[in-house]
Amino acid sequence: MSDIRYEFANSTYSKAFVLIDLCATHTMKEIIMFMSKKINENEELTSAEKEYLLERTQRDADGYCVLSQTGSKRQCEYCINWSYAINYCEHCVRKYLTDNFSNWTSGNDEINAIIQECQESMVIPSRIVEWIPFGNLKNIEYKTRGGYASIFKARWKDGRFDKWNYEKQKLERRGSMDVILKQLDNSRNLKSKWFQETKTHLKCVTKANLNVVKCYGLTRDPTTGDYMLVLGHMNWVRPKIKKKTPEWYTSLMKGCWDANPENRPTSEEIFREVSERLRSIYRNELEVDFMTISDKASISGSEYTNKSRTDLTSDHSSKLYSFQNLLEPKNVNEGN
């Protein structure tokens, strides 16, 4: 799938998804049908990109159903367990991972234990965390420093787990991909605070929490002995606010940059604000009609309730930590 414009395709996916009023009651089947229709109707997408997004639609739906234990169950022909996913069986994937425990080690029992715990409760194949040998990373380039960590860019030779091959009963990888390495200061000491925070982060990623930066696992710098988080690629530079940026978005950006954490908006507040704004923009630009009550009456499937929507967005406020002897925080000018 090297001909896929991933950034463009995923942006198109996000635009279509935000058009769905998730605060209303929709079945998962309705949402899949709505997304599939928008993807197939988009003339800017190539055939390969449409195939990729249609697979992503079902993959995201599978992850939600497995996590929430909702939707129609089916009996796996291989393990005979009941699964909530269509494209994979969570029980088969977990067994595949546990059977492979003896084939890898971080060299540390505590690190092994947390990774194994996460794999035993995996929800989506693309969200599996693992121990990544440092030798599997190449083109490592120092980028910047932030807080108590150094940030590097690298190329992961094999890439993350991507999907489950039913016929071969094994996980398949996406292939070579760019990642970010976050090298934590003094992380050789597993009794320090970083390890507890890392465990929490890995567990959130495993549970398919979309409000958490993707973390594919841990590796260790053999030179320094420090551990590194292997994260999804992202831009670590604070962007400049362009002249034509909408006032509401400028205000939101500045709020996120506030030196006082208590003044920053929560992830739920950001989600609601951006969703409402984008929904309004895309509705006007694309002249898209939302799914109506009459549409819903003709389709049957599992129920996507208001409560489910609340569960996905609640309790994701920024966490406050107490550090000693830090400089007094100050707000900065735009672009700094």
Token pair 């996590």 in the structure block, residue? 67
pLDDT at 298: 45
SS3 150: strand
Mean pLDDT (the chain) is 79
With a cut of 90, say whether residue 53 has pLDDT above it: yes
SS3 44: coil
pLDDT band at 314 (very low <50, low <70, confident <90, very high): very low
Q: Hey, what amino acid is at 245? A: T
pTM of the model: 0.68
pLDDT at 333: 53
pLDDT tens figures, 76-102: 999 999 999 999 999 999 999 999 999
With a cut of 60, say whether residue 140 has pLDDT above it: yes
pLDDT tens figures, 12-22: 998 888 788 76
Is-contact 162 173, C-beta < 8 A?
yes
With a cut of 50, say whether residue 323 has pLDDT above it: no
In this prediction, residues 20-34 reach a mean pLDDT of 78
Q: What are the angstrom distances between the C-alpha of 32 and each of 17, 37, 155, 178?
A: 10, 9, 33, 29
With a cut of 90, say whether residue 113 has pLDDT above it: yes
Token pair 């530079």 in the structure block, residue? 237
What token pair was written down for 228?
């590194």
pLDDT at 271: 75
Selected residue with higher pLDDT from 219 and 310: 219
Q: Hey, what amino acid is at 133? A: P
With a cut of 80, say whether residue 147 has pLDDT above it: no
Selected residue with higher pLDDT from 124 and 287: 124
What percentage of the chain carries pLDDT values higher than 90? 38
With a cut of 50, say whether residue 65 has pLDDT above it: yes
In this prediction, residues 270-293 reach a mean pLDDT of 64
Those residues with Cβ within 8 angstroms of residue 325's Cβ, 6 or more apart along the chain or in another chain: none
What's the farthest any 2 CA atoms get from each other in the chain? 63
Half-sphere exposure in the Cβ direction for 186 (13 Å, CA): 7
**Out of 64-73, 177-186, 189-198, 299-308, which region has the weakest mean confidence (pLDDT)?**
299-308
pLDDT tens figures, 181-239: 998 877 777 666 777 778 877 877 777 555 567 889 999 999 988 899 999 876 555 66
Other Cβ atoms closer than 10 A to 235: 7
With a cut of 60, say whether residue 273 has pLDDT above it: yes
How far is Cα 165 from Cα 158, in angstroms, rounded to an integer?
17
pLDDT at 237: 54
In the chain, where does DSSP find H-type helix? 6-18, 28-41, 47-68, 90-99, 109-120, 193-206, 247-257, 267-286, 293-297, 306-313
With a cut of 50, say whether residue 303 has pLDDT above it: no
23 Rama sector, left if φ>0, alpha if ψ -120 to 50, beta otherwise: alpha
In this prediction, residues 314-319 reach a mean pLDDT of 42
Other Cβ atoms closer than 10 A to 284: 9
Which secondary structure element, helix H or strand E, spans residue 302, and what is its range?
Answer: none
How far is Cα 63 from Cα 59, in angstroms, rounded to an integer?
6
How far is Cα 289 from Cα 234, in angstroms, rounded to an integer?
33
pLDDT band at 286 (very low <50, low <70, confident <90, very high): low
Is-contact 150 141, C-beta < 8 A?
no
